[in-house]
Amino acid sequence: MEVIKMKVGVVFGISEIANPKAFEKKASEFLMSLANDFEIEGGLFVSSKSDTREVDFKEVDIIVLYPLTGGTENALKEFAYYRKPIVLFGDSFNNSIAAAIELREYFRDLLIPAALVKNFDELKAAILGYDDMKELFNKVLNTRLGLIGRISTWLINEKFNLPYVHISLKKFYEYYDATTEAEGWKAVEGIVTKAMDIKEPQREDLVKTGRMYVALKKIIQDYKLDGFAIGCFEMLNKLNATPCLALAMLNAEGIPAACEGELNSLLGMLIVRRFFDKPAFMGNIADYGENHIILAHCTAPLIANYILRSHFESGKGVGVAVSLPKGRASLLKIRGRKAVVAGVEVIEQERSEYRCRTQMKLKIEEAEDFIDGTLGNHHLLVYADSEELADLLSELGFEVMLY
């Protein structure tokens, strides 16, 4: 039986002030050695961004970048475009390793798996190791995320380097205007029937959120999105409504949907859905004590009994007060390539009129230490084992702090 060789894209970086002829023999010997075990694509020298356009690595499995000299970082970083695992080969001369280390951190900040090696045994092992983990990485690398509108201005710690599709609120309103009141009511009729109670929302509010749901489903389909975040507060002036219920419905259906335009929470939601097949509750830390945290927000996946309320801050639209299941779970916060994970126990639902509508009290050891060490406000409540979640995030390239 014929063994199909992995396709490895290879590029050599050389500074614009270096003489390529001085490196031709080294590059040729490198390619010949690599070709013994793998199918090679590329193999050219690049010194500038324009040089990188001479290759197409869409079909390769892994990219090997060999900076033959320093000063090659800006050219070689362009290969992040392909979102493939990268192995950086460095040698002991001409600032090769220095350039490779700089590049490795650049790719890791983009959550692209990147390893540095300096001999052929390490190189082969790294390539085969990535092949073994191909399925794992593809669940994150090959995703299409969307941002509808803008990131909320108060998310001052938001740091997100992954590619995403930006869709303007103007475009969203076009989709919304293309829906009908009948479609809106049909979308939420079953949700209304199953609600334990309906407090503030009127039929008009419910129809609007149903139309939002229909519009968002169409956007997901047309833009081929795996998940999206939406800048929701701007809609209060235009529509006198919020998409809280629409997001709650989508998250329950398996479509990661984050509010306030927060892409880091969206990424966390997507990872949890892809690897654990679970929805996540994105919430604000509303209060904490010695061994508890209260997480609250006006949208939560509709996976348990719920009451339909208004949106807390504005008193408009349709929010949800969901009685999320009790039991063991995890708290997750992602910011860039850093992540914080904590094991918690969901112990009860709170019902304060001075907080967002879904309010869950979580038992957590040394809550004050967790608050002191976490990375910002929004956290995801995930019904997954904290150690399994932390291990997964580490394998995906996050720097993880486990509480």
Does 144 fall in a domain? no
How far apart (Å, rounded) are the C-alpha atoms in residues 204 and 211? Answer: 11
Does 76 fall in a domain? yes
Give 138: exposed, middle or buried? Use CB within 10 Å, 0-12, 13-18, 19+. middle
Separation in Å, CA 69 to CA 14, 32, 99, 236:
5, 20, 7, 55
Does 2 fall in a domain? no
- Indicate whether 91 and 232 sit together in one domain: no
Enclosing domain of residue 67: 7-139
Q: What is the pLDDT of residue 4?
A: 58
- Indicate whether 220 and 184 sit together in one domain: yes
Structurally, how many domains does the chain consist of? 2
Domain's final residue, options 88, 120, 139: 139
Q: What is the pLDDT of residue 358?
A: 98
- Indicate whether 121 and 246 sit together in one domain: no
Does 274 fall in a domain? yes
Separation in Å, CA 216 to CA 280, 283, 330, 343, 357:
19, 21, 28, 33, 22
Residues whose CB is less than 8 angstroms from the CB of residue 189 and which lie 6 or more positions away in sequence, other chains included: none
Name the strand (E) or helix (H) holding 249: helix 244-253
Does 364 fall in a domain? yes
Answering whether pTM is above 0.85, one says yes
Can you give the pLDDT of all 403 residues of the chain as single tens digits? 344 589 999 999 999 999 999 999 999 999 999 999 999 999 999 999 999 999 999 999 999 999 999 999 999 999 999 999 999 999 999 999 999 999 999 999 999 999 999 999 999 999 999 988 988 998 899 899 999 999 999 999 898 989 999 999 999 999 999 999 999 999 999 999 999 999 999 999 999 999 999 999 999 999 999 999 999 998 998 999 999 999 999 999 999 999 999 999 999 999 999 999 999 999 999 999 999 999 999 999 999 999 999 999 999 999 999 999 999 999 999 999 999 999 999 999 999 999 999 999 999 999 999 999 999 999 999 999 999 999 999 999 999 999 9
- Indicate whether 123 and 158 sit together in one domain: no
Q: What is the DSSP string of 253-297?
A: HT--EESTT-HHHHHHHHHHHHHH---EEEEEEEEE-SSEEEEEE
Beta strand extents in 279-355 (DSSP E only): 280-288, 292-297, 306-309, 319-322, 327-335, 338-349
Does 290 fall in a domain? yes
Q: What is the pLDDT of residue 5?
A: 81
- Indicate whether 207 and 117 sit together in one domain: no
Q: To which residue do tokens 């031709």 refer?
A: 24
Q: Residues 333-383: pLDDT tens digits?
A: 999 999 999 999 999 999 999 999 999 999 999 999 999 999 999 999 999
Domain's final residue, options 139, 174, 192: 139
Q: What is the pLDDT of residue 159?
A: 85
Rg for the chain, CA atoms, rounded: 24
Does 145 fall in a domain? no
- Indicate whether 307 and 225 sit together in one domain: yes
Give 129: exposed, middle or buried? Use CB within 10 Å, 0-12, 13-18, 19+. middle
- Indicate whether 124 and 184 sit together in one domain: no
- Phi, psi angles (nearest 5°) of residue 43: 90, 15
Residues whose CB is less than 8 angstroms from the CB of residue 208 and which lie 6 or more positions away in sequence, other chains included: 184, 239, 240, 241, 317, 318
- Indicate whether 154 and 135 sit together in one domain: no
Q: What is the pLDDT of residue 2?
A: 46
Q: What is the pLDDT of residue 3?
A: 47
- Phi, psi angles (nearest 5°) of residue 234: -65, -20
- Indicate whether 346 and 386 sit together in one domain: yes
Q: What is the pLDDT of residue 142?
A: 87
- Indicate whether 208 and 124 sit together in one domain: no
Domain's final residue, options 80, 106, 139: 139
The CATH number linked to 12 is 3.40.50
Q: Partners of 402 in the beta sheet?
A: 341
Does 1 fall in a domain? no
- Indicate whether 164 and 113 sit together in one domain: no
- Indicate whether 51 and 188 sit together in one domain: no
